[in-house]
Structure 1
Amino acid sequence: MKRPGLTLLAVALATFMSYLDNNIINVAIPAIERDLHLTTSGMEWIVSSYILVFASLLLAGGRLADVWGRKRVFLIGLAIFTGASLAAGFAGSVDVLVASRAVQGLGAALMTPTTLAIISATFAEGRQRAAAVGIWSAVGALALAVGPLLGGLLSEYLSWGWIFFINVPVGIATFVLAAAVITESRNPQTPRRFDVPGVLTSAFALFALTFALIEGHDRGWTSPVILGCFAVAAALAVAFVLIERRSAEPMVALSLFRERVFTGGVLALMMWAFGLFGIYFFTSLYLQGVLGFSPTEAGAAFVPMALLMAGSAVVSERISHRFGAGRVVPVAMLLMAGGIASVSLLGADAGFASLMPAFAVIGVGGGLTVPLTASVLDSMPRGEAGVASGIFNATREVAGLLGITVIGAVLTARQGALLAAGQTPTDAFLGGYRAGLLLAGALVAAGGVAAFVGLRTVRVGRHATGAGAAPETGSETGSEPVALAR
């Protein structure tokens, strides 16, 4: 395999680990609860500590990569993530496990936005970069689906610690490979001074918002703590914008949002994550609570969807090259919206066979949205690849949490109304679940409209550098990005 292919392999392995840790723990929670004698709060924080730190620091991680070098930050993040995984596997108390999960989130926040920035620096714009992004996205899709299945198998037949130990040999191998094959890259025009006020305001704003979204259901949406967190997040967001407008060396150049492709892409991604992540979460409850699937069976139900998503992601570059991202992405999101809405037609007697057609449509549509990411990368100045990737990933994580929150509120409200009307708990849950599905489908369809507006003139292969673009350099050589076919 040539050097660009090995570089892609390294960032794909790292992406697989970080995406896997987003959801592998969910089905292992009962086993952890028994061993560590967890309270309800402890169970929640084992899951939430990772997401909280990860989402809060993605933007800062992206800018660090642009300033200090993508390879350097990637290796630091990978080392932190791997070491924290080892500590989590050996954790003998809930405090150690929660702390280890938080440190994992820090490593992932450094590593994840850097993967896309490395792809942007390694592969030439157009079809070669789009193909690399397609493979990167396919690996992420596989991790999201394999997570629950792998978590169930490891916790059932080995021990829950293995859901973390599995990262260690993969992390070490990836570190060795990445150190050997990834070429350091940064933009010589990117300021070397770090925008500390911008980093602090953005990180604490994302932290406050993420905390409120995670804790709001249990503490109450009108509780002083949750309302205070929302107020702090809003105030810090305003402060961040004012700081960045006045800074001579801002962490985020606000001119990025004048790029129609970038802004349209971020809005489309927000709607995509809002709808899909929320339904992914509540569909797991439907499979286990209504259809009676075991955790392992519920995880397995998502595998065909993920395989189709991965397969269509790989071929999405060819389709987009022929028809244009401005056509392919909106159609793909409409497919996803239709698949999500069609699940609402299923009832309490559904099985694998009746689930698969809708899941297949969602999978194919999800894979064909990959040109959205490639188009946004191509529209950016190369020196902003890291922070643009950080914005993209932070948007996805926060929008996904918001989707779980809002769709959960719709589900709960409808469920309560049906219970009050005398329906059985199962029928009431189904009624609420269907209302949530329809909302999610509508939001994903709205994302398709945003993608159509933002990407309507985009074709894979166009050379888009964005305002103020400057050529990338290697750390010493000043080399150009390497073509996939070279």
Structure 2
Amino acid sequence: MTVRKNDKFIILAVSLGVILNPLNTTMITVALPAIQKDFQLSSTNISWLIASYFIISAIFTPLIGKLSDIYGRKLIFLIGLGLVVVSSILAPLSPNLPMLLVARGIQAIGTSALFPAGVGIIRNTIQHNQNRVIGTLAVFATTSAAFGPTIGGMLSQFGGWPVIFYVNLPILAIGIVLTLIFIPKDQKNKATSYKLDGIGILLFSSFITCWMIFLLGLEQRVQIGTLILSIVLTVIFYMYEKGKDEPFINVNFFRKNLNIAVIFGQYILSTVIFFAVLLSFPTFIQTVLGASSQMAGIAMLSLSIFAMIMTPIATRWMERAGFRIPLLTSVLVGLVGVILLFTVKDQSPLVWIGVVLAVTGISNGIQNIGLQNLLYKFIRVEESGIASGLLMTSRFIGNILASSIYGVAFATGMNVGNMSMMAIVLSVVAIVLIPGMLFVTVHEKKKIG
């Protein structure tokens, strides 16, 4: 990839911002027992440290993406970095759970700004090989989530749970300096007036929150009331936005461009498989196989490394062959990876665990970058922020679904039988991905080819 010197620093600045949300999503998981002990919390209370982050990120990512389209990507990117600085200082000093939840909430809002604003910056400033640059961002976003538990475990071991927040500060310092120096000033279009759709934002926040609460509650029981409320709010949001001239989410655009809606759906399902595997295997390796946390971290590297390796390879493959063959290959490889979960037993060697994780990583590496670049084929540059925000919201929804599957599958404990139960559910998800991928790639071929 040939880029100018300044472009390299722009890409680095955006990449440093992009890693913060997925990294902080998974890095805290290994610190939860220590936080629970320090604050004397119940399992339900501690689960909200994870759930609240997903909910806030799911709501604010498209909202801030829209704001970045309106008010400027560099401004929103810097505000996001600043909020993460504040949260990274406040969180380790929290004396109780409510204060820690507030700090994590600020962190979620700040990191939610960085991906949509960052993609907008790339699409506005990088003129050549944009797909490869976005592929670089995908590498950072995907692999930082997979590396999170390993990094968090090492940091917590040496400095306790507060250190996982302080680790953000050097990343933020470099990112802020690079952003101020190398990212160009925002070009504002004064001839265009914008109105924020306040009611649409409120309805969107409400129905997303209700769906998240319903999905998180599946581990205990099916909450019929919450399900009905979620459906009703979703319908109200759709009907309201359909009649708006300047809606928060252009639902008419999705209705007329079904392929884009399917791309978001495919991204959700792809994330479900990846995150379910990411959640379950560290505990399985330690609890069932009896390996140390250090060995579990090493084994999990197979997932992230192969996802990272495949992303640039897949980007070049798609540049030459289009999207259809690579994406169809990825879902078939993903189905193989899910089927391999049935081979994982209580005596499985760690080498074989690494092979199983590698297959899932290969599949996700192709799908992650392929679906992102396919989306941007149908999205105008000025819509980059909101489109990127919705893509990340899709990822958060996938994370919540994966968490729900994990909770239900392993409700009676971590064992081989429950791993097979999870594999059955993920097999259904992998099979559903196949027709969806056929649809979006045929549509892409007609439009682009």
Q: Secondary structure at the match of 1:194?
A: coil
Could you tell me how far apart the structure 2 residues matched to 1:36 and 1:294 are? 26
**How many Å apart are 1:189 and its aligned residue?**
8.1
Alignment coverage as a number of residue pairs: 442
Who is 1:38 aligned against? 41
Residues 82-138 of structure 1 deviation map (CA, whole Å, 9 limit, x = unaligned): 2111111222322221211111111122223222232233334xx712101111111
Residues 192-238 of structure 1 deviation map (CA, whole Å, 9 limit, x = unaligned): 211111111111211222123224424x323xxxx333333222221
Who is 2:89 aligned against? 86
**How many Å apart are 1:140 and its aligned residue?**
1.5
Who is 1:2 aligned against? 5
**How many Å apart are 1:45 and its aligned residue?**
2.2
Who is 1:279 aligned against? 277
**How many Å apart are 1:269 and its aligned residue?**
0.8
**How many Å apart are 1:268 and its aligned residue?**
1.3
Who is 1:234 aligned against? 231
Who is 2:160 aligned against? 159
**Cα distance change, pair 436–191 in 1 and its aligned pair in 2 (3 A):** farther
Most deviating of 400-409 and 68-77:
400-409
**How many Å apart are 1:13 and its aligned residue?**
0.7
Q: 2:203 aligns with which of 189, 198, 201?
A: 201
TM-score (norm 2): 0.91
8 A contact 2:120–2:385 mirrored in 1 = yes
Alignment of 1:87-486 (within 5 A): 87-124=90-127, 128-183=129-184, 184=186, 191-218=193-220, 220-222=221-223, 227-257=224-254, 258-369=256-367, 370-406=369-405, 408-410=407-409, 412=411, 429-456=415-442, 458=444, 462=448
Could you tell me how far apart the structure 2 residues matched to 1:242 and 1:190 are? 26
8 A contact 1:130–1:374 mirrored in 2 = yes
Residues 352-388 of structure 1 deviation map (CA, whole Å, 9 limit, x = unaligned): 2111222222212221221210110121122221111
8 A contact 2:273–2:426 mirrored in 1 = yes
Residues 15-35 of structure 1 deviation map (CA, whole Å, 9 limit, x = unaligned): 111110011011112222333
Who is 1:474 aligned against? none
**Cα distance change, pair 187–289 in 1 and its aligned pair in 2 (3 A):** farther
Matching residue's letter, 1:434: S
**Cα distance change, pair 406–356 in 1 and its aligned pair in 2 (3 A):** closer
Q: Secondary structure at the match of 2:160?
A: coil
TM-score (norm 1): 0.85
Unaligned runs of 5+ in 1: 416-424, 464-486
Could you tell me how far apart the structure 2 residues matched to 1:52 and 1:293 are? 33
Could you tell me how far apart the structure 1 residues matched to 2:150 and 2:309 are? 19
**Cα distance change, pair 400–448 in 1 and its aligned pair in 2 (3 A):** farther
Matching residue's letter, 1:435: M
Q: When you count helix as a share of all residues, which structure comes out higher?
A: 2
Q: Secondary structure at the match of 1:38?
A: coil
Could you tell me how far apart the structure 2 residues matched to 1:186 and 1:304 are? 44
Most deviating of 77-86 and 278-287:
278-287
**How many Å apart are 1:163 and its aligned residue?**
0.2
**Cα distance change, pair 36–281 in 1 and its aligned pair in 2 (3 A):** same
- 2:71 aligned with 1:73: no
8 A contact 2:300–2:354 mirrored in 1 = no
Most deviating of 83-92 and 281-290:
281-290
Matching residue's letter, 2:133: A
8 A contact 2:200–2:248 mirrored in 1 = yes
Could you tell me how far apart the structure 1 residues matched to 2:379 and 2:190 are? 16
**Cα distance change, pair 354–394 in 1 and its aligned pair in 2 (3 A):** same
Q: Secondary structure at the match of 1:24?
A: helix
**How many Å apart are 1:411 and its aligned residue?**
5.4
Could you tell me how far apart the structure 2 residues matched to 1:117 and 1:185 are? 12
**How many Å apart are 1:327 and its aligned residue?**
1.5
Could you tell me how far apart the structure 2 residues matched to 1:123 and 1:447 are? 32
Which portions of structure 1, spanning 4 or more consecutive aligned residues, are displaced by more than 6 angstroms?
186-190
Could you tell me how far apart the structure 2 residues matched to 1:368 and 1:101 are? 31
Q: Secondary structure at the match of 2:196?
A: coil
Residues 173-205 of structure 1 deviation map (CA, whole Å, 9 limit, x = unaligned): 212211222232567787521111111111121
Matching residue's letter, 1:441: S
Could you tell me how far apart the structure 2 residues matched to 1:278 and 1:287 are? 14
**Cα distance change, pair 190–405 in 1 and its aligned pair in 2 (3 A):** farther
Q: Give RMSD over aligned pairs.
A: 2.3
Residues 288-346 of structure 1 deviation map (CA, whole Å, 9 limit, x = unaligned): 22112333332322112211111110222211112211211121122122112212112
Amino-acid identity (%) = 22
Unaligned runs of 5+ in 2: none
Who is 1:481 aligned against? none
